[in-house]
Amino acid sequence: MALFELPEWAALAPTFVLAATSLALLVIDSIDPDSTNRPMLAGTATTGALLALAVTGWYLVAGVGDPNGRGIVSLFGTAQVDGTVFGGQLVVDQMSLLFTFIFASVTAMVTVASYDYLRGHSYQAEYYSLVMLAATGMSLMASAASLATVFVSFELLSLSSYALVAFLKKNRGSVEAGLKYFLIGALSSAVFVYGISLVYAVTGSLQLAAVAQAAAGTELVGVLGLGVILVLGGIAFKTAVVPFHFWAPEAYEGAPAPISAFLSSASKAAGFVVAFRVFTLAFPFETFLDLGVDWVLAVQILAVVTMTLGNFAAATQTEVKRMLAYSSVGHAGYALIGLAAITGSNSEIVLGAGMMHLVVYGFMNTGAFLFVALVEYWDVGRTFEDYNGLATRAPVASLAMTVFMFSLAGLPPFGGFASKYILFMGAVNAGFWWLAAVGAVNSALSLYYYSRVVKALWFEDPSDDVGKVGIANQPVGLYAAILFAAVATVALLPAFGPVSDTAVSAASSLLP
């Protein structure tokens, strides 16, 4: 029994906390423009992220957004089609809270790790402020219930991340990465908004459920189908799915490593939360199959191509960061199975499994990129050979990296095993055994290149560079973030029950 009831808008509190942190950092910056007070800046950002994480966790436990608990909260007006009233522009349900949980955790790890990584860089306040703005955009994407809010929050995330990727202004790699990310991002956001305009042209509405209602029985199937494909293209950019994945290896390689971690885990999950919500609420597959717009087939093709191309490209890389970039393309393919196998009878399990995989992925992939950040901090080198024998100098971090690699490959006893197992089993039970088979073959292939890192760390003789790694030079922030990610990756296996319950319940409230 609650002592007092919070107002409805308080359901968005995690988003408000992230936005307020970003503005607070700008205020600090305006008072002291050249501040290099790293503890204060990183501390403010981390406090904000942890506060948002705490509020999200509290809401999840208290049953906010749970149809059987406190109910789904719909905010900012209503939409009407033919007398039927639909929800507002934003919605807070279990899916939005679950994904906000991922975003806040990843943001906290990234800001803690940046404390060491940004040593000696200028414009630190702006950096943290942009990170928090991007996190605000992500949590808004998770809550967006209208194509208008989807697009605006999508751009809030995109614009902040372009600037973050090009943050190292005097580093040619970073600038080049920022340019390529911006060029492809601008193109795909234009494609995305044109797709939205075609969907609006046919349905006359932007609210997701209202779009589905108005689309049923329309005669303008061609225009609608083109709109759906273009919207899928825009989302494919954000999730680094194959036809729009070209930016990913460049941006992840050139960007500061904590930003690579941020983009490849949190930003990808943000793209997927939009995909899950838009394609289940606005474009429900039953209605669209009747119309002849078979987007499920398109998603299935994308899933298979993305998994295969991502993993094969990762296997041929010589640089660890670039290998991780391609592996993250491959993981986008796994998560797409959540949508690709949705036509089966167990659709809430499959969709929920896609969400679970993104939760686990948020920790293991962030950890892996932060290990790369640690190695860059030590100035060791980028290729597999440069990593030789690192375990002799940094056994704890190497152990954590081993956990990330085996978890990404999907080996027990780590969180990555559970999510992949449920995902592939769900696909098999839905009748898409071939999707699961492609996924399993790709996972087996991925074990090859992940274990190359582990072999280099533990079994190869140390190279000369590794000798430079001093015991005295132990960055506390990077270590803390990596260890937190490693503990979470391991702990997610015994703690998988609550995650999967929440994910399946979130998925079932999206499906009719």
Q: Cα–Cα distance between 126 and 129 in angstroms, integer?
A: 5
- Out of 115, 127, 128, 162, the only residue in the binding site for other proteins (CB under 8 A) is 162
249 in contact with other proteins (CB under 8 A): yes
For 2: left if phi > 0, alpha if psi spans -120 to 50, otherwise beta; the answer is beta
- Out of 10, 75, 223, 447, the only residue in the binding site for other proteins (CB under 8 A) is 223
194 in contact with other proteins (CB under 8 A): yes
Q: Do residues 110 and 48 make contact, with C-beta atoms less than 8 angstroms apart?
A: no
Span 253-282, contacts to other proteins by CB under 8 A = 253-254
209 in contact with other proteins (CB under 8 A): no
The region of 178-186, 274-282, 306-314, 465-473 touching other proteins under the rule CB under 8 A is 178-186
Beta bridge partners of residue 84, listed in sequence order: 81
447 in contact with other proteins (CB under 8 A): no
- Out of 4, 170, 461, 472, the only residue in the binding site for other proteins (CB under 8 A) is 170
Minimum Å distance from CB 479 to other proteins?
Answer: 29
444 in contact with other proteins (CB under 8 A): no
**CA distances (Å), 132 to each of 48, 139, 286, in order?**
8, 11, 38
Nearer to other proteins, 37 or 80 (CB): 80
Cβ atoms within 10 Å, residue 319: 16
Q: Do residues 255 and 264 make contact, with C-beta atoms less than 8 angstroms apart?
A: no
179 in contact with other proteins (CB under 8 A): yes
Give the chain's end-to-end CA distance (angstroms, integer): 31
213 in contact with other proteins (CB under 8 A): no
Q: How many residues touch other proteins (CB under 8 A)?
A: 41
Query: Exposure of 88 by Cβ count < 10 A (0-12 exposed, 13-18 middle, 19+ buried)?
Result: middle
- Out of 204, 243, 413, 431, the only residue in the binding site for other proteins (CB under 8 A) is 204
Among the listed residues 469, 319, 477, the one whose alpha carbon sits nearest the alpha carbon of residue 385: 319
Q: Which two tokens stand for residue 57?
A: 């966790």
Minimum Å distance from CB 253 to other proteins?
Answer: 6
The region of 9-17, 197-205, 335-343, 451-459 touching other proteins under the rule CB under 8 A is 197-205
Q: Cα–Cα distance between 456 and 451 in angstroms, integer?
A: 8
Nearer to other proteins, 42 or 198 (CB): 198
Counting Cα atoms < 13 Å in the Cβ hemisphere of 274 gives 32
Nearer to other proteins, 104 or 130 (CB): 130
250 in contact with other proteins (CB under 8 A): yes
183 in contact with other proteins (CB under 8 A): yes
Q: Cα–Cα distance between 89 and 72 in angstroms, integer?
A: 13
186 in contact with other proteins (CB under 8 A): yes
Q: Which two tokens stand for residue 102?
A: 């991922």
295 CB-near residues (< 8 Å, 6+ apart): 228, 229, 232, 279, 283, 285, 288
Nearer to other proteins, 196 or 341 (CB): 196
Nearer to other proteins, 133 or 503 (CB): 133
Q: Do residues 17 and 53 make contact, with C-beta atoms less than 8 angstroms apart?
A: no
Query: Exposure of 493 by Cβ count < 10 A (0-12 exposed, 13-18 middle, 19+ buried)?
Result: middle
190 in contact with other proteins (CB under 8 A): yes
189 in contact with other proteins (CB under 8 A): yes
The binding site for other proteins (CB under 8 A) comprises 148, 151-152, 155, 159, 162-163, 166, 169-170, 172-173, 175-180, 182-183, 186-187, 189-191, 193-194, 196-198, 200-201, 204-206, 223, 246, 249-250, 253-254
